Chain A
Amino acid sequence: MAIAILIAALAGATVALFFQPRWWFPDAISAHARAYDSQLVITLWVVGCIFVAAQAALAWVVFRYRDRGQQPSAAAGNNTLELLWTSATAVVFLALAFAGQGIWAGVHLAGPDPAALRIETLAKQFAWTYRYAGADGVFGRVDIRQIDDASGNPFGIDSRDPKGRDDITEALLRVPAGRPVELHLKSRDVIHNFFVRELRLKQDVVPGMTIPLRFTAETPGTYEVPCSELCGLGHHQMRSSLVVLPPAEFDEWMREAQQKVAQP
């Protein structure tokens, strides 16, 4: 009796929490993020209805069949019922699985876009660095023996390769609003994770692999990038920022950055 009320109360409180506005997603800043949000809202409604129905049914049977001296039923099974609820559940669950593939495909199955701005993203314990190809549009060769964080060469850009001389190395990830961007994620030591909440994107950065991550940010602003895969004692401080600039401002910044590397 008391337990029926408690189950109903806790389920009700759980549902109520979903209507508080305080702890929720930040605003979406890309088409993918908006598609993500609508798939999530659909899923939450389906999940919410199942949750409420199941907890309510539990509370109700507990209340209804509390001991009032009644004779318990002798029912021990019903194959029609088993078949019915097994197939009904299978239909709902598999429908969710298939409905959810769209946003996954949007992030991971689209081919490379030749017009995308390519940015190499390097993670190490416990910092992020970003490399732009510079005026020639080509990344210079890398030689790990030349890696030197102190002199500003965490990538180990090979000084013998002329194509690397104009490469721009930055601690902030700056991108132009509205233009497709392709990050090439690399790690120098352990596994890290690149996460931008507003883009609804998260990807492990795995040593030994180059993992592409594509997005088009639309809303200018500064967004925090928290490392989201345990990488050691500085994991919680491995912070970076994504800065989305209006295209003209980005071009201006890029021009200045290119001039800076041209006159050392």
Chain B
Amino acid sequence: MDARGAAEGRTAVTLFSTDHRVIGKQYIGLALFSVLLGMLLSLVMRFHLVHPDSKVRLFQMLWPDGAPGGQMTPELYLSLMTMHGTIMVFFVLTTAPQSGFGNYFLPLQLGAKDMAFPVLNMLSFWTTALSLVTLLAAFLVEGGAPLSGWTAYPPLSGLGKITGPGQGLGQDLWIVSIALFCAASLMGAINFIVTVIELRAPGMGYFDMPLTCWGWFVTALISLFAFAVLLAGGILLLLDRSAGTSFFIPAGLVVNDQAQTRSGGSPILFQHLFWFFGHPEVYIAILPGMGLISTVLGVFSGKKVFGYKAMAIAMLAIGGLGFVVWGHHMFISGMSPYSSIAFSVLTLAVGVPSAVKTFNWLATLWGGRLRFSAAMHYALGFVSLFITGGITGLVLGQPGLDIYFHDTYFVVAHFHLIMGVAAIFAIFAGLHYWFPKMYGRFLHEGLGKLHFFLTFALVYAVFVPLHFAGFVGNPRRYPDFKEYEFLKTVLPLHIGVTHAAYTLAAVQLLFLGNYFWSKRRGAVAPANPWGADTREWSDD
């Protein structure tokens, strides 16, 4: 074999590795690519919201059909929004904390050589990658990407091109992508669950596991039940679109002046299936972060995590209760008003274990000796954002109050803070904390802290004002606000938010630069740089 062939052979081995560390890094790489793409899409949307009549050459080059003459069409805006949400929820928030960090560190922390099923692990990564490629392909097909949002409610998503551009092949690709993602997540979930049950070090009981392992374990249990249901919902939707079935299509529709012949389906049924997955998905994104934040706060306080057992039980409670609150996404959907009352009480009940976690984090800090590493900064930022984003759940969880706020920017602000930004702060904390283990070098601490301070202030500047657009009643998923008199008042607010968003995105270059620079040139790290007592630092 010549030198070139040997090099290609090595690449292939690394690409299709069954080593959990390689796979963990691959997932993190995929999430990093996705988060950059998702952020760029959000910048294009923020630009369009405040300059709806601007003609931009770049848009025309990127989307000749969606932006003729550089003028963005509403359908292009909606497709960017759909792709932004889908990319961020699935390929960033579900991928990095669980599949990325989890794959790398779960076996190390349990004292196992690898995950229980290494080949299945590789397969689940490559299925995820295929899913991402399938999703992005929707940009390239006729009609472009789908415009029905990451929630894809039928009949808008169930009847094909007749309901709008992007609802043809673009929507099909979206569903196939999600189905592939479900399959990959199910494989991952089985692997994580079996690893935790079977491969704990001799003598390590469940309540001896670090809280990070608890986070990944409960997340895997949630994934197993949630993604199975989403997969079923996706398949039924695909059948409605391509096989003429009518699971979600009722009788008597006249769409775009054409009478439809289907009958017998229920649009609300899809919402039940979707949110049965969709609400637990929030915890899939946040539970691994909760585990990590507990660890980081403990290590940098010089203390044990306060209330370890209560923290583990709170995670189980969140995982369990998380499955019986999905109806709070559907208070105004037309489902029985009596079920709203039950969902409301259960929703506020799931807030209790979340509050318990916050109390224990504060108690962990209490009486400690706090060392302000970059990772510690992100962990403290996480707690602050978790409070800010979580607390509005007490408003939205009341069906009576949700009536006004549903589908306004208040909800946009709520879920971006709690599910998006808080989870991403946990990812930043994880990268700073574990980088020495993953690459043998430190991420630059000073640069990390600078990035933290700017990012922390700017996410407040972006997302807190959006609540007030919600107070005005500003509906979400509008490409522009020109049609309504009452929306003229919120335009200055949106202009401010857009500028904060530009700055926030620019600040992320600090992190990217730090990441790639430190991988090669960062200060060399000792074996256990933070003085932690979990196994990943003593292994090797």
Q: Which residue of A lies closest to B151 (CB)?
A: A230
Q: Which residue of B lies closest to A82 (CB)?
A: B310
**Most chain B Cβ neighbours within 10 Å, of A73, A94, A145:** A73
Say yes or no for A188: interface residue by CB 8 A criterion.
Answer: yes
Taking CB atoms, residues of chain B closer than 8 Å to A50 are: 391, 394
Q: Does A115 contact B (CB under 8 A)?
A: no
- Contact residues in A for B351 (Cβ distance below 8 Å): 89, 93
Q: B332's contact among A145, A202, A230, by CB below 8 Å, is which?
A: A202
**Size of B's binding interface in residues, CB under 8 A:** 110
Known: A23-B471, A51-B387, A72-B303. A65 touches B367 (CB 8 A): yes
Interface residues of A in 72-128 (CB under 8 A from B): 72-78, 81-82, 85-86, 89-90, 93-94, 96-98, 100-104, 106-109, 124-125
Task: Give B492 Cβ to nearest chain A Cβ, in Å.
Answer: 9
Give Cα A63–Cα B380 distance, bound, in whole angstroms.
12
In the bound complex, what is the Cα–Cα distance between A109 and B400 (angstroms)?
12
A230-B484 in contact (CB<8A): no
Q: Which residues of A contact B480 (CB under 8 A)?
A: 236
Contacts of B387 in A (CB 8 A): 51, 54-55, 58
B384 touches A14 (CB 8 A): no
Which residues of A are found within 8 Å of B397, using beta-carbon distances?
A: 97
Which A-chain residue is minimally distant from B303 (CB atoms)?
A72
How distant is A208 from chain B, measured CB to nearest CB, in Å? 3
For B453, the closest partner residue in chain A by CB is A6
- Whose C-beta in chain B lies nearest to the C-beta of A98? B345
Kindly state whether residue B395 has any CB partner on chain A within 8 Å: yes
A209 CA to B253 CA, complexed, in Å: 11
Q: Are B369 and A93 in contact (CB under 8 A)?
A: no
Number of residues of chain A lying within 8 A (CB) of chain B: 103
Instruction: Verify A89–B355 contact, CB threshold 8 A.
Output: yes
- Given A209-B334, A228-B407, A236-B480, are A125 and B256 also a contact pair (CB < 8 Å)? yes
Assembly CA distance A23 to B471 (angstroms): 7
Chain B positions within 8 Å of A232 at CB level? 147, 156, 163-164
Partner of A190, one of B155, B355, B372, B484: B155
- One of B86-94, B109-117, B181-189, B457-465 contacting the partner: B457-465
- Tell me whether A229 and B407 are in contact (CB under 8 A): yes
Interchain CB contact under 8 A, B460 and A65: no
Q: How far is the CB of A65 from chain B (nearest CB, A)?
A: 5
Report if B362 contacts A (CB, 8 A).
Answer: yes
Return the chain B residue nearest A124 by Cβ: B254
A94 touches B349 (CB 8 A): yes
Q: Are A235 and B477 in contact (CB under 8 A)?
A: yes
Q: Which residues of chain B have C-beta atoms less than 8 A from A62's C-beta?
A: 365, 370, 380
State whether the Cβ of B508 lies closer than 8 Å to any Cβ in chain A.
Answer: no
- Identify which of A157-165, A173-181, A192-200 touches chain B: A192-200
A 27-77 contacts with B by CB, 8 A: 36, 39-40, 43-44, 46-47, 50-51, 54-55, 57-58, 61-62, 65-77
Contact between chains at A6 and B303 (CB < 8 Å) = no
Would you call A226 and B484 a contact (CB within 8 A)? Answer: yes
Residue interface bits B344-371, CB-to-A below 8 A is 1, else 0: 1101110110011011101101111111
Once the chains bind, are B380 and A7 in contact (CB under 8 Å)?
A: yes
- Complex: A32 Cα to B228 Cα, angstroms: 41
**A242 contacts the other chain (Cβ, under 8 Å)?**
no
Interface string of B375-418 (1 = CB under 8 A from A): 00100110110011001101101111101101110000000000
**Which B residues are within 8 Å of any A CB, using their own CB?**
73-75, 78, 147-149, 153, 155-156, 163-165, 250-257, 259, 265-268, 301-310, 332-334, 337-338, 340-341, 344-345, 347-349, 351-352, 355-356, 358-360, 362-363, 365-372, 377, 380-381, 383-384, 387-388, 391-392, 394-395, 397-401, 403-404, 406-408, 453, 456-457, 460, 464-465, 468-469, 471-473, 475, 477-481, 483-486, 489-490, 493
**Given A44-B395, A75-B303, A147-B259, 17 other A-B contacts at CB below 8 A?**
A3-B377, A25-B404, A36-B403, A51-B387, A72-B301, A77-B306, A103-B401, A104-B398, A125-B256, A191-B153, A191-B267, A195-B473, A208-B250, A230-B78, A230-B156, A231-B156, A232-B156
Binding site for B on A (CB under 8 A): 1-3, 6-7, 10-11, 13-14, 17, 20, 22-26, 36, 39-40, 43-44, 46-47, 50-51, 54-55, 57-58, 61-62, 65-78, 81-82, 85-86, 89-90, 93-94, 96-98, 100-104, 106-109, 124-125, 144-145, 147, 149, 156, 188-191, 193, 195, 197, 200-204, 206-209, 211, 224, 226-237, 239
